[in-house]
Structure 1
Amino acid sequence: MTDFVLVAGAWLGSWAWDDVVPELRAAGHGAHALTLSGLAERQSVPAGQQTHVQDIVGEVERLGLRDVVLVGHSYAGIPVGQAAERIGDRLNRIVFVDSGVPTHGESMVSAWWQGQAVFEATLAQNDGFWVPLTAPEYAGQDLTDEQVARIVSRSTPHPGATVTEPAILERPLGELPATYIKCLLDGPEPSEDVARLLKSERWRLVEMDTGHWPMFSKPRELARIMLQDI
């Protein structure tokens, strides 16, 4: 039995995987959705990026998991990619769901289109938090009005330090087995850093004809893709 550890992106908690977890369990595998520090029901917990990395490593160790697929959506690809090398031979595979990938010494917003300084100034105006998206910002992402309302109503501000602090990697990420899921409604091509990693023979690209939040828009299809490489 493989155990999936599922980590959603900015503003979201473990609840974001509610439609995916049953699909994985029905296939005979373990599925453990994780809320990172500072979000959802853990909103009161202070968090930096390495806090989130340790959240993931700690969950694997706490549950005694051995054959682990780490799944990181959007922002969560950054801490998941770092946690993957830290769980050693417990790792089966990483699944990056339309996500960022960590680069040693760089933060998630190092290459922000307006520059990291502008992003940090925005965080400072919001007590150090990244404010959740509003309903109109989910347009064109293959989500129903009900799904958008669900996401917006349950999203919580995201701890800013987790996106501005640099990643720490001890080995090239391309050496680890990974599947990268590109959601085409959020852009037809992977980012340049992902494209470089996809040159590794240990990485596989899968495209989904949906938006950036496939755990809501296409949960069954997303689960099937996760199950293909184990």
Structure 2
Amino acid sequence: MTDFVLVAGSRLGAWAWDEVVPQLRAAGHGVHPLTLSGLADKQGVPAGQQTHVQDIVDEVERRDLREVVLVGHSYAGFPVGQAAERIGDRLARVVFVDSNVPADGKSFVSCWPDADSRAAVEASIAENGGFLPVVPAAHYAGQGLTDEQIARIVDGSTPHPGATLTEPAVLARPLGDLPATYIKCLLDGAEPSDDVAELLTGKHWRLVEMDTGHWPMFSQPRELAQILLDAAGE
């Protein structure tokens, strides 16, 4: 039996996996959707980048999980990639869902190639009491989502703790050493970022493409669940 630990991206919580969880459990696996500190039902809990890494490690160790597949969507690829190397032989595989990947000593924001975007995010955090604010429905247009799905995301979103985006990642060994699957959602760009493309040239990483947008747990939950099951079998 595999134990899946599911971590959604910025502004989201464990609830984002509601349509994926039943399919994984029906296949006989343990499934543990996780809300990171400061978000959703854990609002008000102070959080930096390493807090989110520890949230994931603590979930694995507290439940004494084995054969763990860590799944990180979007922002969550950053703490998931760091947590993966810290859980040792408990790890079976990492799945990055259209996500950013950590680089030692660099923050989530500093890994973005566009300086204007980095500056805009940092300014927004400063102007909103240390949080990245929620975004309107228009932000999710063109990503294969129905109006109802967009409304669910918008209604469930909470401001994201800014320190988690600006504090550096800490990696003890190369990310390419981890057994990993990278899911590229094609409506969010046809090609992986340069750092991900480089990792995919290694022998431990493989690429899977989905013909949908950046939030596949909403737009294509059945297809995403099947990819996760396939990854667990590798």
> TM-score, normalising length from structure 2?
0.97
The letter of the residue matching 1:72 is G
Cα distance in 1 between the residues matched to 2:68 and 2:30? 9
The letter of the residue matching 1:100 is N
Per the TM alignment, residue 27 of structure 1 is displaced from its structure 2 partner at its CA by 0.6
* Aligned residue in 2 for 1:128: 130
* Aligned residue in 2 for 1:64: 64
Cα distance in 2 between the residues matched to 1:215 and 1:167? 26
Instruction: Report matched runs for 1:1-230 at 5 Å.
Output: 1-112=1-112, 113=114, 114=116, 116-230=118-232
Cα distance in 1 between the residues matched to 2:216 and 2:117? 28
Could you list the per-position Cα deviations for residues 155-201 of structure 1 after superposition, in whole angstroms to 9, with x for gaps in the alignment? 00000000111100000000010000000000000001100110111
Per the TM alignment, residue 116 of structure 1 is displaced from its structure 2 partner at its CA by 3.7
The letter of the residue matching 1:227 is L
Cα distance in 1 between the residues matched to 2:135 and 2:17? 18
Cα distance in 1 between the residues matched to 2:193 and 2:99? 10
Cα distance in 1 between the residues matched to 2:143 and 2:121? 24
Q: Secondary structure at the match of 1:229?
A: helix
Cα distance in 1 between the residues matched to 2:8 and 2:102? 16
Runs of 4 or more consecutive aligned structure 1 residues displaced over 4 Å after TM superposition: none
Per the TM alignment, residue 129 of structure 1 is displaced from its structure 2 partner at its CA by 0.5
The letter of the residue matching 2:49 is Q
Q: Secondary structure at the match of 2:83?
A: helix
RMSD over aligned Cα atoms: 0.9
Cα distance in 2 between the residues matched to 1:118 and 1:104? 23
Per the TM alignment, residue 122 of structure 1 is displaced from its structure 2 partner at its CA by 1.8
Cα distance in 2 between the residues matched to 1:229 and 1:109? 28
The letter of the residue matching 1:119 is V
> Higher mean Cα deviation, 178-187 or 116-125?
116-125
Cα distance in 1 between the residues matched to 2:109 and 2:130? 14
Task: Give the % identical residues.
Answer: 73
Cα distance in 2 between the residues matched to 1:200 and 1:63? 32
Could you list the per-position Cα deviations for residues 25-53 of structure 1 after superposition, in whole angstroms to 9, with x for gaps in the alignment? 01110110000000001011000000000
Q: Which structure 1 segments of 5+ residues have no match?
A: none
Per the TM alignment, residue 229 of structure 1 is displaced from its structure 2 partner at its CA by 2.6
The letter of the residue matching 2:10 is A
- Checking the alignment, whether the CA contact within 8 Å between 2:121 and 2:132 is kept in structure 1 is no
Could you list the per-position Cα deviations for residues 180-229 of structure 1 after superposition, in whole angstroms to 9, with x for gaps in the alignment? 00000000000011001101111010000000000000001001001113
